[in-house]
Amino acid sequence: MSIKIALAGNPNCGKTTLFNALTGSNQFVGNWPGVTVEKKEGKLKGHKDVVIMDLPGIYSLSPYTLEEVVARNYLITEKPDAILNIVDGTNIERNLYLSTQLMELGIPVIMAVNMMDIIEKNGDKIYIDKLSKNLGCEVVEISALKGNGITQAAEKAVKLAKDKAATPAVHKFSPEVEHVLNSIKDKIGIEVAEEQKRFFAIKLFERDEKIAQQLNNITDVTAEIEKIEKELDDDSESIITNERYTYITSIIKDCYTKMSKNKLTPSDKIDSVVTNRFLALPIFAFVMFVVYYISVTSVGAIATDWANDGVFGDGWRLLGIGSSAYEENVGEYDTYQQEIDGFIVAAQEKGVNVDSLKELIVSDDASEIELENAILTFSQNETVSNLNADVEITDEAGAITETVVVNLSEFENALEVGEPDPAAYGVWIPGIPGALESGLDAVGCAVWLKGLILDGIVGGVGAVLGFVPQMLILFAFLAFLEACGYMARIAFIMDRIFRKFGLSGKSFIPMLIGSGCGVPGIMASRTIENDRDRKMTIMTTTFIPCGAKLPIIALIAGALFNGAWWVAPSAYFVGIGAIIVSGIILKKTKMFAGDPAPFVMELPSYHMPTVSNILRSMWERGYSFIKKAGTIILVSTILVWFTSNFGFIDGKFVMVDDLRDGFLANLGSIIAPIFAPLGWGDWKSTVAAITGLVAKENVVGTFGVLFGFADVAEDGSQIWGTLAGSMTAVAAYSFLVFNLLCAPCFAAMGAIKKEMNNAKWFWFAIGYQTGLAYVVALCVYQIGTLITVGTFGVGTLVAFAIVIVFLYLLFRPYKDRNVLKINAKAFAK
C-alpha cells in the first residue's frame, strides 16, 4: 500500500510551491467529492509508493469555511500516515495556531519552517532545537522557493510515516480547562481512537456541531462547559483560543528572536508605497494597465498575429528568412494591383462597363483564355485605348505615397504580374488552412465537408486558439502577481474602496480568482459569511473579464480599433466600474442593505516566485482553455457552420450559396432588432452574442465562421475577414461592453444557480447582469455616436434618461440609515 503524506499549512505559507517542487509533473488535480474545493495530489519524486496530498490552505481546523471542513474531514477520516506541517517563519506566531491543532490529531507530524532565507535576510533568529522540544515534534528549516532543505524534509516525513509513531500533544492548557477536557475524554466511547480523543474532546468543548454529529454515543457535557464558562467569564471557544495563544506566546519568547523590532523589513518598505492611502489605487491601475497592454496590445499582439496569420493563416517563414525580399516583391505587386484598380475605376467613370472583366480578374476559376478575351474586348473600347488615369498609390497605412499616370499598355502589363509565392522566399511553413485544403483537394473531398472543415472547424476553433498566446502571457502575469504577494495587497487596497460601496475586500478575492475563470470565482464567494454580501458578490464577480473574454477583447481591439493600446485595459476597468456602481445602487435597496462583513487577512512577505511555478500556473489555466476549445467550442462552431450554411429554399433542404438564406440568419434576423439601439443589430453579431452564452469564446468562434477568418490573404491583411467593415468603432465598443457585462457562460450560470440555491435569486442575478449590460451598451453607442458623428435621435434621449436615472440611484440618500446598523458583536461571534 502507498504511503500518504498530507501537506498542511496556512494560506500563503509556501505550501503549493513546496508541493510543486516535491512532485514535479506527477500531479493530479481535481475536486474533492461533492464540493468545488480543489484537490491536488501527486507522487513524491523518487518514491512511487509515496502520495502527497496538498490540503487547502487553512488557518485552523474549525468548521468556518468549506476549505477547513474539507481539510479536517480528510485528516480525521482518511488519517494520512504523516503530516508535513508548513509554517511561514516570517509569521510564525500566527501559523503555530494551526500547528497546535494538528498535533492533537494523533497523526505523526513533522514541521517545516519555510522562508528561512527571508528570516536570515531580516537578521531574525529561530532556534529550531528549542522549538522542536517545546512542540514535541521534529522541526526542520526549508526554503521552498529556493529548494533548500525540501528533500530532507520529505525524506524525514516518509521515515516518520513508516515508523507509525503518533506525535503526542505535549502542550497543556490551564488546570481548570484540562480538568473539563479530561472529563469529556472519559465520556467518549471506543468509536474514537485513543490518540484522537483529545482533539474530539476539545471540539466538543468548543460546541463544534459537526464533530458532535460524528459521534453516536456521547453523554451530554453542557453542564461542565457552562460551569467553566461562568467561572472564566467567557465562551468555551474563546477560552480554547486564549489558551492556545498563551501557549504559543510562551514558545515564541523562548524560540524566536527579532533582531530589531523597529527596523522595517523589505516588505514593510514596499507596502508603505503600494498600500499608501493616496498611491495605492494609481499604482494598482498602472499595474493592470501594464499587464493588459503587454498581454493584448504589444507582446501578446505580436504572438497572436503570428498564430492567426501563420499557424491558422497562410503560413509563416522559418526564422524570418527571406522576409525582406518577399515584402519588397509584395509591395511591388500591391502597387500593380492599385494601378489595375485605379484604371478600372477611371474607365467606369467614363461610362465603360467593366463588370465582367472585374469578375474574371478576381475569380480563381477563370481560364486564361476567358481572361484574355475579356481584356481584348475591354481594350478595343475607344475610350479605354485613349485613357490616361491618375492613380494614387498608398502604403500599408493608407497614406498616399505618389500619384502615377496609367494607360492601357501599363494596365495590360500590370495584369501579367503574378502574385509572389511565399514559398519561393526562405523556408516557408504552410498554415493549417492551406495544408488542409491541399490535402482535401488531393483526396477529392466533398464540397460540403471541405466547407465544414475549413470554414467551420478551422475558421471557428482556429479563431479562438489564435488568441492563446495572449492568454498565456496574461496568465503568466497574474501568476506572478499572485505568487509574489501583490494580489493579497490588492484585496487589502480594494477593501478600503469596496467598503464605501457596500462590499468588503473578501468580495474582491472571488473577483481576482474570476479573472482566470468565473466558475471558481463564484464558488470562492462561500468564504463570505454575510449572506447579503455573498449574494451581491456572486452577482458581480463575472463583471471582471475572465480568460474566456480575453479573445473577445483582443478581437475587437485588433479588428475595429487597429490594435489601440487603451481598449484592453479599459475593458478591465469597465468591469471594476460595474462592480462599484452595482454595489452603491444595490446597497441602497432593502434586499442588500447593511454594513459589509469585517475583512481580516494576513499579508505574506514579498518574494520572487520561481519561473517553474509561474509556468506551471500559466499552463494549468491555459490548458483548461485549450481543452474547452477542443470540446465545447468545436461542437458550437460545427453547429454554427451547419445552421448558417443550410436552409430551406423552395421547400427543399439544401446547402445555401448565401449565408443570409441559412437557418441561423433567419433566427438571428428575428432577434437582431432587439440590439439595433446598441449599434449592432445585424444577425451575425446577434448570433455571436447568443452563442457566447454557451461559452464566451464562442463569440470569436462564431465570428470566425460567419466573417471568414479562415480566408487569409498572403500578407495577412484579411485575418479579420469582413468583420472590420461590419460595424462602426462605437458600435464595436458597445458590443464589447455588452459581452463583458451580460450573463456569463452556461457553466458560470450553473455555479450561480448552485450558490444562490434559490430559483428567484438566480433569475434575478441573470436578469440584473443582462439588463445592466444592455443599458450600459446602449448609452455607450447612443452617446458615443452623438460625440463622434453628431447624430441625435430617440435613442440618444433614452440614453441620457438612463444616465440621469443612474446618477439618481448613485447619489440618492439611504431611506433608512438605521437599517445599515449591524450589531458588531454578532459579527465578532
Annotated binding residue 38 = yes
188 with 96, same domain: the answer is no
Domain that holds residue 189: 175-257
Annotated binding residue 776 = no
Report the C-alpha gap between 316 and 326 in whole angstroms: 12
Give the per-residue pLDDT at 800: 94
154 with 202, same domain: the answer is no
Assess if residue 548 is contained within a domain: no
Annotated binding residue 117 = yes
pLDDT at 829 over 50: no
Name which of 193-197, 489-493, 602-606 the model is least confident about: 602-606
pLDDT at 488 over 80: no
Place 7 in a pLDDT band, splitting at 50, 70 and 90. Answer: very high
Annotated binding residue 114 = yes
154 with 65, same domain: the answer is yes
Annotated binding residue 296 = no
Query: Of the candidates 4, 237, 247, which has an alpha carbon nearest to the alpha carbon of residue 107?
Result: 4
Annotated binding residue 823 = no
Assess if residue 89 is contained within a domain: yes
Q: Which helix (H) or strand (E) holds 627?
A: helix 611-629
Assess if residue 45 is contained within a domain: yes
Place 503 in a pLDDT band, splitting at 50, 70 and 90. Answer: low
- Kindly state the cell numbers that stand for 196: 484522537
194 with 87, same domain: the answer is no
Place 253 in a pLDDT band, splitting at 50, 70 and 90. Answer: confident
Torsion sign (Cα): 158, 160, 166, 169? negative
Annotated binding residue 23 = yes
- Name, of 232-236, 551-555, 740-744, the range with top average pLDDT: 740-744
Assess if residue 553 is contained within a domain: no
Q: Is 590 helix (H, G, I), strand (E, B) or coil?
A: coil
Place 85 in a pLDDT band, splitting at 50, 70 and 90. Answer: very high
- Name, of 24-33, 132-141, 298-307, 525-534, the range with top average pLDDT: 132-141
**What would you report as the CA-atom Rg of the chain, rounded to the nearest whole angstrom?**
33
196 with 159, same domain: the answer is no
Assess if residue 385 is contained within a domain: yes
Give the per-residue pLDDT at 824: 32
Report the C-alpha gap between 693 and 419 in whole angstroms: 42
390 strand-pairing partners = 405
Give the per-residue pLDDT at 585: 85
Report the C-alpha gap between 290 and 228 in whole angstroms: 58
39 with 139, same domain: the answer is yes
Give the per-residue pLDDT at 716: 39
Annotated binding residue 518 = no
Give the per-residue pLDDT at 519: 74
Name which of 696-710, 726-740, 749-763 the model is least confident about: 696-710
Place 32 in a pLDDT band, splitting at 50, 70 and 90. Answer: low
Annotated binding residue 42 = no
Q: What would the mean pLDDT of 700-705 be, rounded to a whole number? A: 80
400 with 375, same domain: the answer is yes
Report the C-alpha gap between 817 and 227 in whole angstroms: 41
Which residue bears the cell 478576381?
362
Q: Are 137 and 111 in contact (CB under 8 A)?
A: yes
pLDDT at 211 over 90: no
Annotated binding residue 115 = yes
Name which of 62-66, 74-78, 302-306, 411-415 the model is least confident about: 62-66
153 with 32, same domain: the answer is yes
CATH code of residue 40:
3.40.50.300
Annotated binding residue 168 = no
- Name, of 274-278, 367-371, 520-524, 768-772, the range with top average pLDDT: 768-772
User: What is the bridge-based pairing of β-strands 646-649 and 652-655?
Assistant: antiparallel
Q: What would the mean pLDDT of 268-290 be, rounded to a whole number? A: 86
Give the per-residue pLDDT at 822: 39
Place 819 in a pLDDT band, splitting at 50, 70 and 90. Answer: very low
Proportion of the chain above pLDDT 90, given as a percent: 18
226 with 328, same domain: the answer is no
Domain count, the chain: 3
Place 631 in a pLDDT band, splitting at 50, 70 and 90. Answer: confident
pLDDT at 497 over 80: no
372 with 418, same domain: the answer is yes
Give the per-residue pLDDT at 798: 94
Report the C-alpha gap between 113 and 87 in whole angstroms: 5
Give the per-residue pLDDT at 815: 57
628 vs 449, more confident: 449
Annotated binding residue 803 = no
Report the C-alpha gap between 32 and 281 in whole angstroms: 37
Report how far apart, in Å, the C-alpha atoms of 441 and of each of 433, 444, 677, 707, 712 are: 12, 5, 45, 23, 18
Annotated binding residue 315 = no
Give the per-residue pLDDT at 336: 92
- Kindly state the cell numbers that stand for 273: 508605497
pLDDT at 154 over 90: yes
pLDDT at 412 over 70: yes
DSSP secondary structure letters along 135-188: HTSEEEE-BTTTTBTHHHHHHHHHHHHHHT----------HHHHHHHHHHHHHB
Annotated binding residue 134 = no
Annotated binding residue 388 = no
Q: Which helix (H) or strand (E) holds 87?
A: strand 82-88
pLDDT at 774 over 90: yes
- Kindly state the cell numbers that stand for 14: 509556501
Assess if residue 128 is contained within a domain: yes
Annotated binding residue 598 = no
Annotated binding residue 661 = no
Give the per-residue pLDDT at 193: 82
pLDDT at 821 over 70: no
| pTM exceeds 0.85, yes or no | no
Give the per-residue pLDDT at 738: 95
Give the torsion through C-alpha atoms of 295, 296, 301, 302, to 10 deg.
-10
Q: What would the mean pLDDT of 135-156 be, rounded to a whole number? A: 91
CATH code of residue 185:
1.10.287.1770
- How much is the mean pLDDT over the chain? 82
Give the torsion through C-alpha atoms of 722, 723, 729, 732, to 10 deg.
160
pLDDT digit string, tens, across residues 603-630: 777 878 888 888 888 887 787 777 766 7
354 with 219, same domain: the answer is no
Report how far apart, in Å, the C-alpha atoms of 659 and of each of 641, 644, 646 are: 10, 6, 8
Annotated binding residue 742 = no
Assess if residue 99 is contained within a domain: yes
Q: What would the mean pLDDT of 328-340 be, rounded to a whole number? A: 89
Question: How many other CB atoms are there within 10 angstroms of residue 622's CB atom?
Answer: 20
Q: Are 162 and 49 in contact (CB under 8 A)?
A: no
Annotated binding residue 16 = yes
pLDDT digit string, tens, across residues 514-559: 776 777 678 767 667 677 888 888 888 889 888 778 888 888 888 7
Q: What would the mean pLDDT of 379-406 be, rounded to a whole number? A: 87
Give the per-residue pLDDT at 816: 47
User: What is the bridge-based pairing of β-strands 109-114 and 27-31?
Assistant: unpaired
Give the per-residue pLDDT at 140: 93
Q: Which helix (H) or strand (E) holds 401?
A: strand 400-406
Q: Are 266 and 132 in contact (CB under 8 A)?
A: no
pLDDT at 825 over 50: no
Assess if residue 655 is contained within a domain: no
Q: Which of 257, 275, 308 is the last residue of a domain?
A: 257
Which residue bears the cell 479563431?
463
Q: Which of 217, 236, 257 is the last residue of a domain?
A: 257
Annotated binding residue 1 = no
Residues sharing a CB contact under 8 Å with residue 719, sequence separation 6 or more, in sequence order? 305, 308, 309, 313, 709, 712
Name which of 334-348, 509-523, 633-647 the model is least confident about: 509-523
Q: Which of 163, 194, 217 is the last residue of a domain?
A: 163
186 with 74, same domain: the answer is no
Half-sphere exposure of residue 26: CA atoms within 13 angstroms, side-chain side:
16
